[in-house]
Amino acid sequence: LFVLNYMEEKMKKLLFLVVVMGFVLSTIPTAIVYAETEGANLLEERCSVCHPTSRPKSKQKTPEQWETTVNRMMGKGAKLTEEEKVILLDFLSKTYKP
């Protein structure tokens, strides 16, 4: 009887762990898609104020080169918060890479 109770408790813990891990893993793709969408939206909303978005979309740069470009654009008046800058740089670096 003791062995059965012990096994039942272990199975409950294992089931709980499986449910929690399933939930955690199910949220990861959503976060990635959201970040990509948010980065694309920032490109459309902020960069198109001064030039067509086809301009940055036609480039292939390293993350460092994108950071230099975005810093230069911010110096010319592009409106981005630091958080938005990080999101945009992540999007540009992953989408338009060499």
- The model's pLDDT over 35-82, given as tens digits with 9 standing for 90+, comes to 568 999 999 999 999 999 898 889 999 999 999 999 999 999 999 999
Q: Give the position of tokens 């490109």.
A: 43
Q: d(Cα 87, Cα 40) in Å, to the nearest integer?
A: 9
Taking a C-beta distance cutoff of 8 angstroms, is the pair 53, 44 a contact?
yes
Give the pair of three-digit tokens for residue 90: 């992540």
Between CA 74 and CA 76 the distance in angstroms is 5
Query: How many whole angstroms from its chain centre is CA 38?
Result: 8
Q: How confident is the model at residue 6 (pLDDT cuts 50, 70, 90)?
A: confident
- Output the pTM of the full model: 0.64
**Cβ contact 42:88 at 8 Å:** yes
